[in-house]
């Protein structure tokens, strides 16, 4: 089984991002590049990171009208990312058009409810019901739109997996038992997420901000 860990490289400096990826590449299965990196370095940065030789998850969390999101997907087509994210709350037509515009080898995955939110936060943005209900509802919508899978927390992945058997499930908000959660609210351990059906485990600060990122990546690998 290949390593399901994608290390989140959330940093604005290209040299630091490359150094981190080179350091941990033997103990992770892929690299996740998000807004912080992409807004600073764009296509050039992604191409530079591709030299590391690992699959690239381009976490752009696209959320706009269908025409604009489809255009954005076409603009990144040439980079051939393994995975791209859109927000499920952009709606079915947006997700359908995103998938239609994506490259054949790119998985398009919908972010359901951010792992930094809990039930109280949902209420404050006017959504009734629990995080669990919201994730299940958006997972159904993403499935109906023809996406490859969703991003959710480890609290929901078991239930989603049960309902969407061949889906591709990305779980961030992962911490070892002694790790600080920081801004994350729906948190589980990497092992728990894996056991509950996660296809990809996204791990950022527990590796990137560790005193010894290589040792941290190895320690996480040993638990899964
Ligand atoms: O789409 C994501 O990757 C994502 C979705 C989500 O609900 N929560 C979440 O934390 N993420 C990303 O996962 C990574 C988590 O980072 P750490 O909390 O440092 O491990 C960050 O790059 C986030 O942007």
Q: How confident is the model at residue 224 (pLDDT cuts 50, 70, 90)?
A: very high
Domain ranges for the chain? 5-223
Mean pLDDT over each residue of the chain, to the nearest integer: 97
Q: Give me the pLDDT at residue 179, please.
A: 80
Q: Nearest to residue 26, comparing CAs of 53, 56, 66?
A: 53
Which percentage of the chain shows pLDDT scores above 90? Answer: 97
Q: Give me the pLDDT at residue 1, please.
A: 58
CB-ligand 1 contact for 84 (6 Å cutoff):
no
Structure tokens at 22: 């080179």
Tokens 């390593």: give the residue. Answer: 3
CB-ligand 1 contact for 131 (6 Å cutoff):
no
Q: Region 78-98: what's the mean pLDDT?
A: 98
What interhelical angle do 92-101 and 66-76 show, nearest 10?
Answer: 20
Residue 206 has pLDDT above 80, yes or no: yes
CB-ligand 1 contact for 8 (6 Å cutoff):
yes
Q: How many CA atoms lie within 13 A of 163 on its CB side?
A: 17
134-155 confidence digits (pLDDT tens)? 999 999 999 999 999 999 999 9
23-79 confidence digits (pLDDT tens)? 999 999 999 999 999 999 999 999 999 999 999 999 999 999 999 999 999 999 999
Q: Angle 191-196-198 (CA atoms, 0-180°, nearest 5)? A: 80
The pTM for the full model equals 0.97
Binding residues for substrate are 10, 32, 59-68, 115, 175, 184, 204-205
Q: Which residues are identified as catalytic? A: 59, 61, 64
Q: Give me the pLDDT at residue 177, please.
A: 86
CATH of segment(s) 5-223: 3.20.20.70
Hey, which of 172, 186, 209, 213 would you mutate to test ligand 1's pocket, going by the most ligand atoms within 8 Å of its Cβ? Answer: 172
Q: Angle 85-91-92 (CA atoms, 0-180°, nearest 5)? A: 90
CB-ligand 1 contact for 184 (6 Å cutoff):
yes
Residue 178 has pLDDT above 90, yes or no: no
Q: Give me the pLDDT at residue 123, please.
A: 94
Taking a C-beta distance cutoff of 8 angstroms, is the pair 126, 101 a contact? Answer: no
Q: Is the ipTM of this complex over 0.90?
A: yes
Q: Give me the pLDDT at residue 205, please.
A: 97
Residue 54, phi then psi, degrees to nearest 5: -110, 155
Q: Region 178-195: what's the mean pLDDT?
A: 95
Q: Whose CA is nearest to atom 4 of ligand 1?
A: 172
Q: Nearest to residue 196, comparing CAs of 163, 156, 168?
A: 156
């Amino acid at each position: 089984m290949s390593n399901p860990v994608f290390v989140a490289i959330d940093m604005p400096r290209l040299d630091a991002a490359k150094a981190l990826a080179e350091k941990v590449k033997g103990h992770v299965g892929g690299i996740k590049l998000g807004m912080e990196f992409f807004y600073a370095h764009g296509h050039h940065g992604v191409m530079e990171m591709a030299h590391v030789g690992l699959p690239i998850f381009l976490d752009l969390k696209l959320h706009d009208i269908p025409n604009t999101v489809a255009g954005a997907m076409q603009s990144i087509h040439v980079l051939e990312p393994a995975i791209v994210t859109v927000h499920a709350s952009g709606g079915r037509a947006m997700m359908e058009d995103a998938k239609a515009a994506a490259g054949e080898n790119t998985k398009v995955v919908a972010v359901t409810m951010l792992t930094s939110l809990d039930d109280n936060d949902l209420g404050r943005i006017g959504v009734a019901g629990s995080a669990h209900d919201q994730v299940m509802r958006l997972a159904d919508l993403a499935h109906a739109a023809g996406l490859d899978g969703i991003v959710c927390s480890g609290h929901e992945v078991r239930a989603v997996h049960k309902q969407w058997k061949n889906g591709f499930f990305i779980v961030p908000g992962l911490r070892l038992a002694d790790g600080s959660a920081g801004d994350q609210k729906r948190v589980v351990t990497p092992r728990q997420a894996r056991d509950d059906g996660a296809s990809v485990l996204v791990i950022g600060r527990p590796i990137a901000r560790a005193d010894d990122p290589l040792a941290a990546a190895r320690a996480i690998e040993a638990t899964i």
